[in-house]
């Protein structure tokens, strides 16, 4: 079955939402991670941190050119939020005051290495705040499509692209499966609904254990 791209993104975001606990301070990367709040259960209220300088990121009510999210898009701030400068923002991040960060990935590997900021010779985006986030957040979740557009596995035995962080990833959520990163490598925690183990084995380059 071929899922539409939006559907795939929704499946990933919905599963990531289940990792959130009431009261968690969360930082969401651009792309699929920004969809996660749409799927939070009613009794789970999280506080979103935006690395460009505030806590309490909320829905857009009125466009203010001076209020944007970390993707530069207009956004809102919830009652109880706070603004601060970039220094303090990254003190929160590096200092372990952010419970969970959810990021996209180009490649993840069995050691929990993540690559998502550069493709040599092709794309140089820059790491932005990603290296600080994966270093400082208590839990790092990679939310990404299982395979690249060309169909090759993004979950590798060893990353080939330059790293964003070494041994930093805790959980990988794709439209096919959920893996945790342990001292003994990847562990398949779950298979998404309607997916079978053969598909996961076929689409995953890295070796993994099955829980």
CB of 155: closest distance to another protein in angstroms?
19
Site string for another protein, 123-152 (x = CB under 8 A): xxxxxxxxxx--xx----------------
Q: Which is nearer to another protein, 84 or 207 (CB)?
A: 84
Q: Which is nearer to another protein, 147 or 161 (CB)?
A: 161
50 sits in which H/E element: strand 47-50
Cβ neighbours of residue 197 closer than 8 Å, sequence gap 6 or more? 191, 210
The verdict on 163 binding another protein (CB under 8 A) reads yes
51: annotated active-site residue: yes
Distance separating alpha carbons of residues 174 and 67, to the nearest angstrom:
31
Q: Which is nearer to another protein, 80 or 151 (CB)?
A: 80
| Number of residues counted as binding another protein (CB under 8 A) | 41
Stretch that binds another protein, among 20-28, 89-97, 145-153, 189-197 (CB under 8 A): 89-97
Distance separating alpha carbons of residues 172 and 19, to the nearest angstrom:
11
Distance separating alpha carbons of residues 11 and 143, to the nearest angstrom:
10
Q: Active-site residue among 19, 51, 107, 145?
A: 51
Could you say which residues in the range 16-55 bind another protein, by CB under 8 A?
50-54
Q: For 96-159, give the DSSP string.
A: T---EEEE--SEEETTS-EE-SEETTTEE---TTHHHHHHHSSEEEEE--SB-TTS-BSEESS-
Stretch that binds another protein, among 14-22, 64-72, 140-148, 200-208 (CB under 8 A): 64-72
Q: Which is nearer to another protein, 41 or 96 (CB)?
A: 96
Contact of 116 with 106, CB cutoff 8 Å: yes
The verdict on 72 binding another protein (CB under 8 A) reads yes
The verdict on 94 binding another protein (CB under 8 A) reads yes
Distance separating alpha carbons of residues 52 and 186, to the nearest angstrom:
33
Contact of 171 with 139, CB cutoff 8 Å: yes
Q: Which is nearer to another protein, 39 or 90 (CB)?
A: 90
Partners of 103 in the β-ladder: 142
Give the residues lining the site for another protein (CB under 8 A).
50-54, 64-68, 70-72, 77, 83-87, 89-90, 93-94, 123-132, 135-136, 162-167
């Amino acid at each position: 079955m071929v899922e539409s791209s939006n559907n795939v993104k929704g499946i990933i975001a919905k599963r990531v939402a289940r990792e959130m606990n009431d009261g968690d301070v969360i930082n969401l990367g651009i792309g699929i991670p920004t969809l996660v709040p749409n799927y939070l259960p009613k009794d789970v209220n999280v506080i979103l941190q935006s690395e460009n300088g505030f806590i309490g990121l909320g829905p857009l009510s009125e466009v203010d050119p001076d209020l944007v999210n970390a993707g530069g898009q207009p956004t809102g701030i919830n009652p109880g939020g706070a603004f601060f400068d970039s220094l303090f923002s990254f003190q929160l991040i590096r200092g372990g005051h952010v419970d969970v960060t959810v990021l996209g990935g180009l490649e993840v590997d069995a050691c929990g290495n993540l690559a998502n900021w550069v493709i040599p010779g092709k794309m140089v985006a820059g790491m932005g705040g990603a290296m600080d986030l994966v270093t400082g957040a208590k839990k790092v979740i990679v939310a990404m499509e299982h395979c690249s557009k060309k169909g090759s596995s993004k979950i590798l035995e060893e990353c080939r692209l330059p790293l964003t962080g070494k041994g930093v990833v805790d959980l990988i959520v794709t439209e096919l499966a959920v893996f945790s990163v342990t001292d003994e490598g990847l562990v398949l925690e779950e298979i998404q609904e309607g997916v079978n183990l053969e598909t996961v084995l076929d689409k995953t380059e890295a070796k993994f254990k099955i829980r």
